[in-house]
Amino acid sequence: MADFSTNRAIVFQRSLGYLAMILIVLVIGVPIFWMLSGSLKTTQEIYSTNIQWVPASPRWGNYADAWNAAPFERFYFNSILITALGSSLEIINATLTAYALAFLRFPGKNLIFVILLAALMIPAQVTILPNYVFFGSTVFDLIGESWINTYQAIILPGASVAFGTFLMRQSFLGLPREVIDAAKVDGAGHFRILRDVVLPMGKPVIVTFALISVVAKWNEYLWPLVITTTQEMRPLTVGISYLFDAEGNNAWGVIMAATFFVVFPLLVVFMFAQRFIIEGLTAGATKG
């Protein structure tokens, strides 16, 4: 009787788990499917009360209209450049800092870590005005030219974030110390230990943070909007706004097609890297 009750409890728990997963898939998947469906419809079909999830006559021309409505080639170039350089700097800084906090001994180490944790509580929006003033007037006073509307101004404020350092430090603390101690006995220096021992063993969390960083850089909107002043310097997220009509007469099919240009690269990345996301987020979860 006890075994029967235990089996029923297990089945019930699994059923709840499956229902929760189905609900999450619906919450995430339905808006994406509606976007894809809407990108193949006319505005009248989108506004119709007779909802049609699969359009009878797909309008593939919406994608061509969206691409030609704004300089999307330039927007793509800007997004790829900003994401590649910004994420690379962020990953390098986070890895080096996390290694130092996990394996080096130096004065004020714990204080630095506390300050790092405090930085996690500061919203990114708070830093927009100080950064704008710095890249405008302060940089002008230093070098004689403003960095407003430049790639370096878009990239540098996000070259390092506290979350990546915290995530990697926690994971590095969970690595087997015996392997690291053995490398030290063999005469390996810190750079070699990092390259040959820590990075291979910490690959899941590094890839996870790389994905988080890439998604954040690719989707960033507010700071590129504030710091850029010309159409040629703006990424995809800001470029889509050029398709909106000021009077509200929006061609929603074209806008949804343009939105697909932004979403599609991230969907591809997640499809190929989802395994590392799960491994990385659970790595070092029990270490402090």
CATH code, 221 = 1.10.3720.10
**Could you tell me the pLDDT band of residue 2, with boundaries at 50, 70 and 90?**
low
Per-residue pLDDT of 175-213, as tens digits, reads 888 888 888 888 888 888 888 889 888 888 888 889 889
For 173-188, give one letter per residue: b (16+ CB within 10 A) or e: bbbeeeebeebeeeeb
Domain count for the chain, please give it.
1
In a domain, 288, yes or no: no
Structural domain of 180: 69-282
Residue 54 · residue 172 · CB < 8 Å:
no
Residue 111 lies in a domain: yes
pTM flag (> 0.75) = yes
Question: Residue 284: pLDDT above 50?
Answer: no
Has residue 211 been placed in a domain?
yes
**The predicted structure's pLDDT at residue 161:** 80
For residue 262, how many other CB atoms are within 10 A of its CB?
19
Per the prediction, the chain carries an average pLDDT of 85
Residues 46-64: tens digit of each pLDDT: 888 787 888 878 888 899 9
Report yes or no on 183 lying in a domain: yes
Residue 188, C-beta contacts closer than 8 angstroms, at least 6 positions apart: 196, 197
**Hey, what are 72's tokens?**
């999307």
- Average pLDDT for 128-133: 92
Q: Is residue 38 part of a domain?
A: no
Is the Cα torsion angle 163, 164, 169, 172 positive or negative in sign?
positive
Whether 4 maps to a domain, the answer reads no
Higher pLDDT, 246 or 171: 171
Tell me whether residue 241 is in a domain: yes
149-179 per-position pLDDT tens digit: 999 999 999 887 888 899 899 888 888 888 8
Q: Are 280 and 206 in contact (CB under 8 A)?
A: yes
Average pLDDT over residues 123-147: 88
Going 253 to 258 to 261 to 267, the CA torsion angle's sign is negative
Residue type, 176: P
How far apart, in whole angstroms, are the C-alpha atoms of residue 258 and residue 264?
A: 10
Asked if residue 109 belongs to a domain, the reply is yes
